Structure 1
Amino acid sequence: MATKKLPKTLAESTRKKADAARARLLARAREDVALIKRRKQEITEAFYDIGEALLRLRKEPIPKLLGYDGFGELCSRGLGIAASSANDLIAIVTRVSRRDALKWGKEKTLALVALADATPAEDEPTAIDAKALEGLDPNKASVRELKAPAKAQRTVAKQKGAASRGRTSSAEERRVAAAIQTALRKAGVKTATVSAVATRPGAASNVRIEGVPFAALRLLRRALPAR
């Protein structure tokens, strides 16, 4: 039995409805793709924002003002995160600029911080000795690849009886460095990175200030604590 053809006007109407439905579906799909990209960026940026907030919460007497014995209890009871995880995020924001941290991501940034601390030189995550990197490009290397040289450096240091750099800087020195960095960034110097660089066991640390343009020296003077 021959199939009857739809009238031309009905066929055209059906086609237009199908095209319209396809267009709506495509538009929604594109919206979803854009949504996911935005949310992914928000997730990527969240760890740095959290680190900056943790840095502020760590300062005395804030934990006690909130009813906690210390920062560790604030993290575990008040925030539901391990103090070690909180300190990892704080290490990122006090030693790596937002731009670099977001470029590398949380895990790679932490791996570079660990590698910088493991080297005998006064390295920073953004400027690690080429020998310590063992030919790796930080921008291209995986987290796993970056952990290997850090482990090797710690093994060598242990064998020599040398402490890793960074373990000799005091909590107060790191706190002051973090406060200077926070003040600079609040003043608009978003690229500023300030860290306490240990020299040798028992000696005072040096202050390393990076990412501050000459035009912002006035802001730097304001950010420095009175001594």
Structure 2
Amino acid sequence: MATPKKKPTKPTATLARSLRENAAAAHAAKLTRLRTEGTAAIERVRDLRARIEDDFLEIGQELATLNDPQVIEAMGYDDFAAVCTDALGMSVAKARQLIAVTTRLAPQLARSLGQDRAVALLSLVDATPEEDTPAEVWKATLTLPDGAKLDVDKATTAAIREAATMIRRHHAAKKPGRGRGLTVSPEEQAAATKIEKSIGRDQQLAGSTVTLKAGSKARGARVVIAVDLRLAGRMAKAVAKAVA
């Protein structure tokens, strides 16, 4: 009995299958490349963290690589915060500071400032309403809301941070739409500044923020502190020292 002949595969079906296979292979290759890239960046950050003061720019560059959503997905993490905390043992706030220093400052200026001073300068740049570059602000003499003059390049890092905080609060107080009767007293502002200074003395709390919000005369102003949850206990101790 003769064996029935198989029907020839339609060219269009073969082409469609080939395209699907090629697309799947290309996607797999891309995931492999991104996973390798991300893994290498993690290892590089781990190696560099021991010399973070000297290599913070390189760390920022590697963190910028890890901040790519495609790299994050390829490595199996939910988001950039998970990469920072789970793979690197670093707060996401600190990581974003290093990325900002790397991407917003000229390398020569960043290296001359050092990590902490560079972060403080960017905080001041972001606080001022003018569209000045970091290099311009660094060489500027600013008039602060209280009338004092700040020669930025001659000021201490702490003074630059305090100036940024003062400018932010001054402009926040001038914004329209505040509720009637909401105020911040000089004593409350001084207390918030004291808390911020106490937090700033703890390097592990770098990247945490203190926001003073106006309140009614009966209730008083409110202070809102943003900190990584794992550092909440450490933050509580820093605040307790400030208000003791």
TM-score (ref. length: structure 1): 0.49
Q: Which has the higher contact order (CA 8 A, sep 6+)?
A: 1
